[in-house]
Structure 1
């Protein structure tokens, strides 16, 4: 019931912010004119195509350690929290449809603790980084993309473990180490992709602004 409540609250809050507006135009980006279709369609569709397979992969094959990739922090950095929440809920539903070995309860758990919760932590951490360090490129890539992902994923994993969600095939004494290593692996990819997108495809990052991070404009 807690997982259901968390999904309902997060999804209701996200939809109240009307995230679909991000997909109709991106007036805030200097590379887009008002009324143009959003470049966020690309990371959104990539999320819905690739991430469900990564979530479902451990149940599609016999693996000694069934450790799911999260990717939630990268999704949040690309889409922004309001759009990332419904996208991650769709990812959980698609993963459930893809894998016969993934039950409804397990798909819901993945959606909450591998998706919504770490994405929410990453959003809150991003607000703290901007308050503490300001709008610097290094703070965005390293502080949010890398450090923020490690903290968000590890904290979400430990909260999940505290509620009794154990990692299959992992000794209970090694749970903390396993979740820490998983968070680091996810964070390395998230930080690397954020750096690449900032350099070559900044329009794919809803949380990035050239005016704010490069030119210091507040408006």
Structure 2
């Protein structure tokens, strides 16, 4: 299938994703420094489709601090390239093929949020950066927001089913508009500056090696778009092999 046709189908999937029956949209803004998103709740920016649960532990004017649980499942693919837009487009195409049936069970899998991109910057102006694009694995029917499905094996060897082994804390910068490489880097810079101003040096330094972009909107959404940059610190008590 031509690339243009695949991308068009991907846009339609994002625009028409059906709300999950297990998700309840929050209808009140967080007002305190410590707020919790319970397992049965989903923030409004998830638009009623499956997205990971988290706890909000701090809110400032510049960023939010969230705790995410361990063992979250994602379907991922890694692309190495000089430009963010081209690399992410290629990664999205692979993952969309997977949820469209390019898997061992030939099953169609519902679209979720966010599309998460792990960005590992190159070490010089002409060094290639690394981008890992991920789709969140949907929740199991009647499992609430605690149990994800057992995803089928991908057909494309470049696509993998992976698990976040550790719980992690994310410092999250939210921004609107259309996410492009320049706007994502600007948000990451603003987040780093805000963390340093608050004395969160370790969290700011975590963004030097890698950071995440998370996008929640259909490309057909014009107003009120929701984008995030995450600086992630793993749970120090989590042991990985």
Decide: shared fold, TM above 0.5: no
TM-score, length-normalised on structure 1? 0.28
Larger proportion of helix: 1
TM-score under structure 2 normalisation? 0.26
